[in-house]
Structure formats: structure tokens, C-alpha cells
Amino acid sequence: MASELGDGERPAPTRRLAWVSRELVVIAAGSVGVILVAMTLQLSFGAYPLAPLDAWRTLSNPAVLGNEAAWRAFLLGGTVPEYETGTLIVWTIRLPRVLVALLVGVNLAVSGAILQAITRNELASPFVLGVSSGAGLAVLLTVVVFAGLLPFLPLFAALGGGIAFLLVYAIAWQGGTNPVRLVLAGVIVSSVFGSIQTGLFLLIEDVGVAQGVVAWTAGSLVGADWAQVRMLLPWTVIAVGSAFAGARELNVLTLGEETADSLGLSVERVRFLLSAVAVLAAATSVAAAGIVGFVGLVVPHIVRRSVGTDHKRLLVGCAFAGPALLVAADAGARLALNPAQVPVGIVTGLLGGPYFLYLMRKHGGFGGFR
């Protein structure tokens, strides 16, 4: 042997940022661009119109940016100091809505990426494990049966999503689980919970409440404010942080459980923990914005086509593209039929459906995670 390092050798990819590919940078930059445009629209249009430049000027207003009391009010709750109307509208109504959209987008996209890896199925979504129907049922129960507990609605949504997920896991468990059984169990739980949900629907007597619930199940950011930001932020940090920490485990899981096991991955434990992270992310966003469909399905799909299957890249890509899609969709939802507002979930559904139709036509054999 000539040497340990022959001609075909390459230096170790040890540099910290070697995994950042050009495609990933393009996705990130494109997403930031979309976010900036959508944000400008969101901040300036509405019942109190502002010129785009004025909106940004208000946003960079040092009287707010540098005011500790204002930030305390935003991030910890409390009374917002006195400002002029434009400033108040931008800072307490329009900006938090954008922030909620960003956070919900991150959560849904990351949750989808995790679940697609775990089930090795590109068509899996945050709601395939029953999170959506569980959360939806919990919300309806709260509204119809336990109306006194309405202030705790988000909490119940997350709880319902979590319970449904545990139920799915219990049904799928047979001395271990596998992706197919998990998906099937998700279908079982979803259809039963969905039926109960529809049944409860007919019990609502107040038309206003019924309409609110419909909007919520369709996914809506109307009325989102700093309270939602405060609720989302810590959970988002935890969920996204854990997802990044588990990126290599996700990679190994996509090789199939036989191989993952042979490589020394504790398949069942890792799969359970990562599912829990995905449920946490999805349930938090359900609690804040209702059931926004297709984001968790489409975003990982689009990002994977561009950056490949490595989950470090994929998750970072999702953390940019998810918010971009949701903020843009919400801008559309708010402005399309102005002054009427459409739930954002309807817009994402209208965008997501055709995207899959296009894929189906263009690539006959997509769907499997191979």
C-alpha cells in the first residue's frame, strides 16, 4: 500500500459549517426575502393604513425598541406604555400576528420533517399521528361541554393532541412499532375522533361560537397577539433545539429500523422521544393558531427536494421555509378578500393541494421515502 491517504482521498469535512450547502443558503435567503415582503404587507395594510416605509420606521422606533417597560409588557404580559395609535397598532396588533405566523410555521415544518423521517414516509404530516384530531376534539369539548374552562383552551388543545398521540402509539405497539402500524393507528384514531368532533359540532347552539370554532379548526391567525407569542416561544425553542440535537438520529432512522438497530441506535426510545418532540411542536402551533394544514406536509417535501436528505440541512431549511410559507399565506388570507379575513389554513390548503397534484403528474412514483 502506497499510503493511508491515496489520490482518491479527501480532507476531513471537519470544518464547522461544511454541511451548509449552496442550496441551503438559497432556501434561507429566499425565505428571508419572502418573509420581509409579506411582513411589509402585513404591517402596512389594514383598517389603519400605513405607508410601507412608515411601517418599518414605526418598527424601528427607538422609543419602543429601547423601552424596557414595553418589552416587559410584550414578553411577560402587562400594560403597554402609552404610544401614538400607529405605533400601538404596529407593535401590539400587526407585529405579534407576524411573529405568531413565523413561530407556527417553524413548528409545523420541523414537526413534519421529524414525522416523515420517523415513519419513513414522505406523505406523513404532523397530523398523521392523530395530533390534529385529538387537539380539535379537546377544543370542541371545551367549547361545548366545559365552557367555563375557555381561557385554558390552548392547554387543552395540546393535551388532547398528546393524548391522541399516546393512543396512536399504544394501538401501534406490539412488542415494538413500525412505520406502517403507526400510520394505520393514526388513521384509526383520527377517524374516530373526527366523528365525535363532527357530532359535537351539532350540539353548539350559539352561532357565533360555532363560527369561531369553524375558523379555529380551519387554522386562523385572526386576533393573534403577544399572548400567543409568549405561549409559543419557549416551546418552539425547546422543540426546535431538540430536533436539531436529534438530526443525526433522524438520519440513521431513515435507513430503516434494522440498519438503525445494527448501528446501535435505540430505535424504540429514540423514535418515541422524537415523536414527542414533533407532537409538542405541532400541538403548540395548534393551540396558538388552530389546525393549519399542509404546511407540515409540503415544506419538508419542498426543502428535501432542494437540500437532500441530511436532516441537519433539512431542519434548518424547514426552519426558514416554514415561516416564509405561513407568513406569506397569512398575508394572502388577510388581504385577498379585504376587509373580510379568510382563515390561513384555507390558503395553505389551496396552495398545498395543487402542489401535490403537480408532483403526482410530474413524478408518477413519489410517496415512498426511498
Give the binding range for another protein (CB under 8 A) out of 57-65, 72-80, 235-243, 305-313.
Answer: 305-313
Asked if residue 266 binds another protein (CB under 8 A), the reply is yes
What values do phi and psi take at 77, rounded to 5?
90, 155
Asked if residue 258 binds another protein (CB under 8 A), the reply is yes
Residue closer to another protein (CB basis): 152 or 366: 366
C-alpha dihedral (210, 212, 213, 219), degrees to nearest 10: 150
Asked if residue 198 binds another protein (CB under 8 A), the reply is no
- Give the whole-angstrom CA distance, residue 361 versus residue 141: 41
Asked if residue 3 binds another protein (CB under 8 A), the reply is no
> Tell me, what DSSP letter sits at residue 227?
H
Residues 30-89 binding another protein (CB under 8 A) are none
Asked if residue 364 binds another protein (CB under 8 A), the reply is no
Asked if residue 195 binds another protein (CB under 8 A), the reply is no
Measure Cα distances from 341 to 14, 136, 218, 337 in Å.
50, 21, 12, 6
- Give the whole-angstrom CA distance, residue 44 versus residue 48: 8
Nearest to 284 by CA among 164, 156, 197, 170: 156
Asked if residue 16 binds another protein (CB under 8 A), the reply is yes
**289 contacts 219 by C-beta, under 8 angstroms:** yes
Asked if residue 14 binds another protein (CB under 8 A), the reply is yes
Asked if residue 245 binds another protein (CB under 8 A), the reply is yes
**Look-up: residue for cell 441530511?**
310
Residue closer to another protein (CB basis): 29 or 245: 245
> Tell me, what DSSP letter sits at residue 82?
P
252, 277, 291, 321: which one contacts another protein (CB under 8 A)? 252
Least distance from C-beta 321 to another protein, angstroms? 17
Nearest to 216 by CA among 190, 197, 235: 197
198, 211, 309, 338: which one contacts another protein (CB under 8 A)? 309
189, 265, 286, 295: which one contacts another protein (CB under 8 A)? 265
Asked if residue 302 binds another protein (CB under 8 A), the reply is no
Nearest to 27 by CA among 292, 323, 294: 323
Applying CB under 8 A, the residues found at the interface with another protein are 4-6, 8-9, 11-14, 16, 174-175, 245, 248, 251-252, 254-256, 258-259, 261-266, 304, 308-310, 369-370
